[in-house]
Amino acid sequence: MSDISTDSGFDFWYVLRAIRRRLPLFLACVALVPCVAVVYSVLQKKEYTGKAVLQFRNPEFDQKLFGNSFIQNPSDPERVAATNRARCRSRGSRR
């Protein structure tokens, strides 16, 4: 057996022998503990739920609020509606 060690004092074979001597404990740490954590997590009662609501800008809102329009209204309302529909369908839409 060749000695694989570095200048920092790390001895590969010493670590390998230590793991072999404590193999059941090593396997429990590497495999069993994460499995138990996942099962425990899945079996927990769900405490929180979420809800999302999309709100689109009313082009006349600033005019109704202030009496004049600060934001230029879009010239093509069909295009705005198509964009809003596309946003509803993109990423995470379940339709």
List per-block mean pLDDT (blocks of 10 residues) for the chain, which spans 95 residues: 58 89 87 92 86 68 68 71 77 53
Q: CA-CA distance, 50 to 32, in Å (whole number)?
A: 32
Residues facing residue 11 across a β-bridge: 5
Residues 6+ apart with CB under 8 A from 31: none
Q: Render pLDDT for 73-82 as a digit per residue (tens, 0 to 9).
A: 666 778 877 8
Q: What is the pLDDT of residue 94?
A: 52
